[in-house]
Amino acid sequence: MQNLKLPITIDPYKSAQRRLECEGVFQLSEMKRLLDACVSTQEQVEVSFQFDVDELGLVVISGKGSASVGLTCQRCNDEFVHELEIDFQFSPVKNAEGADDLPSYYDAIELDENGEVNLRELVEDELILAIPLIPRHEPEDCNAESDTTWGELPEELDKPNPFDVLKQLK
């Protein structure tokens, strides 16, 4: 396993023939689209890649990565740190039609004009997809008023008794 500053683009076919495995980092500051959606709380994202050819003869780029980022809680508007985990399996295609022919367990990644894939964009896209749709604290960590959604009061005590309303009418 080579530990290195990862190449931004790579020829997946040559890498698959060599059964290349590599592990390294990308700079979060270079992932502008991701940073539109969250705040970076660390400088780097750690990723590992494996290139291989499967039994169907397809080139496969698989890997894992993680990065912790700051998100804004949609309940209390405070920022909190969230660990984005990614785990992917791509197969390179020349165009959108090629993507239709892939087995469903692979995602398609389009080759650029040099026949390479952009690993940094791949990782950035995966990280963006890993951001929760509605980011929010774990209930016990949230600063929002606890009676709005998930307070732990027994339900019966919390509900107004409908007969109380009748009493007031009398």
Summarize as ranges the residues that interact with Zn ion (CB under 5 A).
73, 75-76, 137, 142
Which residue's entry shows tokens 């709005």? 148
In whole angstroms, what is the distance from residue 19 CA to residue 11 CA?
A: 12
Q: What is the number of the residue whose Cβ is closest to Zn ion?
A: 73
Q: What's the closest the beta carbon of residue 10 comes to Zn ion, in angstroms? A: 40
- 103: buried, middle or exposed (CB in 10 Å: 19+, 13-18, 0-12)? exposed
30 residue type, one letter = E
Closest distance to Zn ion from the beta carbon of 3 (Å): 37
Alpha helices in the chain (DSSP H): 12-17, 32-37, 96-100, 119-130, 155-158, 162-169
Provide the minimum distance between the beta carbon of 143 and Zn ion in the complex, in angstroms, as a whole number. 5
CB of residue 127 to Zn ion, shortest distance in Å: 22
Cβ proximity to Zn ion, 73 vs 119, nearer residue: 73
- Which of 31/71 has CB closer to Zn ion? 71
Q: How far apart are CA 168 and CA 170, in angstroms?
A: 5
Q: Which is nearer to Zn ion, 120 or 137 (CB)?
A: 137
Smallest gap from Cβ 71 to Zn ion, in A, equals: 10
- Taking every pair of Cα atoms in the chain, the longest distance, rounded to a whole number of angstroms, is 86
Question: Cβ closer to Zn ion: 61 or 142?
Answer: 142
On whether the CB atoms of residues 43 and 29 are closer than 8 A, the answer is yes
Of 115 and 139, which CB lies nearer to Zn ion in the complex structure?
139
Contact 87, 130 (CB under 8 A): no
